[in-house]
Amino acid sequence: MPRPPSPSIPEKEFLYGSLKQSLRLDGRNPLEMRTPTLTFGPDLGWVECAMGKTRVIAQVEGKMVKPPPERPLEGLITIHSELSPMASSEYESIRPSEEEVTITRMLDKVLRRSDVVDKESLCVLSGQRVWHLRLTIHCLADAGNMLDCACLAGVVALKHFRRPEVEVVGEEHDPSERAPLPLSMHHTPFCFTFAYFPDPTILPVLDPSHLEQRLSAGLMSVALNAQRELCVVQKAGGMPLDQQEVLRIVDVAVGKAKELDKLVETRLKEDWAGRTVEVR
Amino acid sequence: MTLVLPGEQVPAQHVNLKLGPGLLQLSSANGDSAIVATRAGDLNHSANRSKWWIESNSRRYVPAPQESVIGMVIARSGDNWRVDIGSAHMATLDGLAFEGATRRNRPNLKVGSLLYARVSLAHKDMEPELECFDAQTHKAEGFGELKGGFVVHCSLKMCRLLLDPKFFLLPLLGARFPLETATGLNGRVWINAKEARHIIAVSRCIEAVDPDGGSMDEAGIKKFLGTLDI
Amino acid sequence: MSSRIEILNDGGYRSDGRRQYELRSIDIDMSPQGTADGCAVVSHGLTQVQVCVFGPREARKRAETLHDRAVLNVEVGVLPFSAGERRRRGRADRRILELAASIKSTFEPVIQTSLYPRSQIDIFVSVLAQDGGLLQACINATSVALASAGIALGDLVCAVSGGVHGTFPLLDLSALEEGDLPNVTVAITPRSGKVTLVTLETRLHVDRFGEVFARACEAGRVIHTEMRRAVRARTSKLVDAMGAGTKGTGEEDVERDVLMSEINDF
């Protein structure tokens, strides 16, 4: 697939010119995120996250398996994400493109390596039965910044999921009559991506749109939770930034994390209030 | 008018019948020919029922001759330029197809420049060809390189609406601030105004009115403009 | 898994006898290998990485060339015997692809690609031995290899890894420390002090991150001194070899060239 043509000269010049005046093409402030819209599906653990026109679906499923012998006390979590050409014609189906590798690795780091879910709580019978959680992420449309959208969808899906409560009765286990349990999570990370541009007088913008991402000189992603703990910082190359600038971006992300945390909690409560869980 | 789906028969009968986009004449096994719709949309016809067509919306452009389009230069091959107009194939533009261009004096385009051109040849078996002057007068008439400004992508129906002089959007915006636009029938609109925030306002209005993404009416746009900072 | 070995003991010594901010011994070898235009083997303690640079040369696929710049192509191969246990990692392994993508985007703004339009610069990285600090070794080796290939660079790029144990920042982590601690890798361009790459995995408090970040930027300058020394030594060897070839009037040119390389503070 030949690479898509880079944006035209008037588009480039107009974008840089308006960013110099702190104007963004969709009318946002430079440090304003698109408000995420979270839609929950009928199943627990199915959530669609839309930020502007960027849409991602995440789903969590759980099943019981035998744990590997070297870790008999911990559950397993696998993340499966594929960017199909449906999201954007830039993603090939055969070889993973660079952006796909970045997104898959970042999701892995944010959701798995930073210990979001308490794996020891997933153990039912040590050495024999543990929960294997499978998080699947489908990217439906890419209008810039698919990474943040995918991370948010994944985290909210994990918070939304309820696993059946099982009791060990002798050697058998039955799903009991109690309500399904939420997963025990250590923390809730959120990812924020900033784009910065070749002109050093233009300050970095948060949540870049498609055109801003293509014309940027580099991206910096910061994943952190509302308790001021950084999970992932990823500035992989791109134009060099001052040390102060890097720390300033981290500070901005800290503020945004608190806001996003409140929003997610409110949405989850609303959805949970609207559901009636059958207890047979 | 009436809504038709692909495959439905259309009662189009006239001595000099002309079929527009979305209609096809198929001959069935027993020799009769029938007019069949190939797209989903509104069935329209002219007053004397000689011209029939289907109004539908799409985002991908299929070149047709004599249409004005906005293209971006992607490469140079010898004397010609290869231009991306958003269709299945890249179009070719002769380096001399500009007003007043001679062998010694050719316009100097760069890769990435925007052009307003006219499709001179659009055959389904060949690559489309463009020209940057009017067919009869051989004068520029607004065709040529577009400098500055910004280009917005929209659906094809939106471009057709913008080209309709009775449509409300451009006169409404033009009354607020001076503005110049070039609308290509391939889903691209070039906008230029003095201030960046005016250009941003126009681009957001076009996206809001686009039948694909909102289709706001006049009252909605007036309210929307009130919220923007102009 | 409990760590039986202390990361930092009360006397301030780490498991391999280093102090808190001490870097491992760095060895840079720029002798030519095979037909590569530029080659470097860099060791940080026991971690050893070899980088071969080819280019700028004609691009293999015409469709991928850019009309005004060179295209960078980075391929990373981890040898199966490089880690503790023998493992064959395929080319399409995500970790390796991410490493390659990081190296590519780190050097894209530093290499003056606009001087070589429609060509391709190939960077082949081979990891010979792994003992922690893989990304830093790859970046340092690539910098030196590009300098040895004579490709126009805006500046060298120096990378350092670091971590935090409790409240103590540590620099240049070995594999043992990397497994237990949150680790940061920072790459800077020494002349301007600006940061080209920052990666952090696992959880770390914002303030701790600020401390280790500042320390790593300073350490980058130390690595830069080492790189300068190695590149200087190699360049003066080459200049001597060129001077020995020409006789007579060549001698004064050699004198002048040696003086120039001492005056130029790069």
ipTM of the complex, rounded to two decimals: 0.85
Interface contact C4, partner B, CB < 8 A: no
Which positions in chain B touch C67 (Cβ < 8 Å)? 75, 111
Residue A1 domain flag: no
Nearest to A102 among C101, C210, C217 (CB): C101
Distance CA A246, CA A264 (A): 27
Q: Is residue A3 part of a domain?
A: no
Q: Are B218 and B168 in contact (CB under 8 A)?
A: yes
B112-140 average pLDDT score: 88
Within 8 A of B111 by CB-CB distance, chain C residues are 67-68
Measured distance CA(B65)–CA(C21) in Å, rounded: 72
Answer for the pair C73, C108: CB distance below 8 angstroms, yes or no: no
Question: What is the pLDDT at residue A57?
Answer: 92
CB atoms within 10 A of CB B52: 22
End-to-end, the C-alpha distance of chain B in Å comes to 39
Strands A129-141 and A76-82: parallel
pLDDT classification of A43: cutoffs 50, 70, 90:
confident
- State the average pLDDT over residues C143-169: 91
Q: Would you call A249 an interface residue with chain C, using a CB distance cutoff of 8 Å?
A: no
Full residue range of the structural domain in which residue A83 is found:
22-274
Question: Which band of pLDDT confidence, cut at 50, 70 and 90, is reported for residue B72?
Answer: very high
Q: Is C265 on the interface with B (CB under 8 A)?
A: no
Q: Which pLDDT belongs to residue A115?
A: 83
- Give the distance, in angstroms, between the CA of residue C172 and the centroid of all CA atoms in the same chain: 13
B-C contacts at Cβ under 8 angstroms: 3
Q: Indicate whether A96 pLDDT > 70.
A: no
Q: Where does the pLDDT of residue C143 fall: very low under 50, low under 70, confident under 90, or very high at 90 and above? A: very high
Dihedral angle sign, alpha carbons of residues B34, B39, B42, B47: negative
Structural domain boundaries of chain B?
2-55, 68-146, 150-227
CA distance C106 to chain B (A): 26
Mind telling me how many Å the CA of A113 is from chain B's nearest CA? 39
Q: Over range C49-73, report the average pLDDT.
A: 87
Residue A170 has pLDDT above 70, yes or no: no
Among the residue ranges B54-63, B204-213, C253-262, the one predicted with the least confidence is: C253-262
Is C64's CB within 8 Å of A113's CB?
no
Nearest neighbour of C97 by CB, restricted to A2, A101, A113: A101
Q: Which of C64, C67, C68, C114 to mutate to test the interface with B (most CBs of B within 10 A)?
A: C67
CA B76 to CA B80: how far, in whole Å?
Answer: 6
The CATH number for C46's domain is 3.30.230.70
pLDDT band at A280, cuts 50/70/90? very low
Q: Identify all chain A residues contacting B152, using CB atoms and an 8 Å cutoff.
A: none
Locus of tokens 């703004």: C109
Residue C1: which pLDDT band, with cuts at 50, 70 and 90?
very low
Chain A environment of C101 (Cβ under 8 Å):
98, 101-102, 236
Helix (H) or strand (E) holding C219: helix C206-245
Chains sharing 3 or more CB pairs under 8 A with chain A: B, C
Determine the pLDDT at residue A101. Answer: 80
Distance from CA of B23 to the nearest CA of A (A): 29
**Residue A279: pLDDT band by 50, 70, 90 thresholds?**
very low
Q: Do A233 and C104 touch (CB under 8 A)?
A: no
Q: How far is B30 from chain C (nearest CA, A)?
A: 51
Domains B2-55 and B150-227 share a fold: no
Give the separation between CA A129 and CA B144, rounded to whole angstroms.
Answer: 71
**CATH of segment(s) B150-227:** 3.30.1370.10
Give percent above pLDDT 70 in chain B.
Answer: 99
Contacts of A217 in chain C (CB under 8 A): 109
Tell me: pLDDT of C116 over 80: yes
Average pLDDT over residues A229-246: 86
- pLDDT bin (cut points 50, 70, 90) of residue C258 is low
Q: Is A2 on the interface with C (CB under 8 A)?
A: yes
Matching CATH number, B2-55, of 3.40.50.2300, 1.10.3720.10, 2.40.50.100, 3.30.390.30: 2.40.50.100
CATH of range B68-146; options 2.40.50.140, 3.60.15.10, 3.30.67.10, 2.40.30.10: 2.40.50.140
Whether chain B has a CB inside 8 Å of the CB on C67: the answer is yes
Which comes out higher in pLDDT, residue A89 or B52? B52
What is the per-residue pLDDT for A1? Answer: 38
| SS3 state of residue C121 | strand
**This prediction's pTM:** 0.86
Give the number of domains in chain A.
Answer: 1
Degrees, nearest 5: CA angle C72-C75-C79: 160
The answer on pLDDT for A178 being more than 70 is: no
CA distance B112 to B76: 11
Mean of the pLDDT values across residues B104-111? 84
C180 or C26, which is more confident? C26
Q: Which residues of B touch C69 (CB under 8 A)?
A: none
| Alpha-carbon distance C157 to nearest alpha carbon in chain A (angstroms) | 10
Query: Does A92 score more than 70 pLDDT?
Result: no
Tell which A residues from 22 to 51 touch B, by Cβ distance under 8 Å. Answer: 23-27
pLDDT band for position A172 (50/70/90)?
low
- Contact residues on chain B for A17, CB-CB shorter than 8 A: 196
Residue C53: phi, psi to the nearest 5?
A: -115, 130
**Between B60 and A88, whose confidence is greater?**
B60
Say yes or no to pLDDT of A2 above 70.
Answer: no
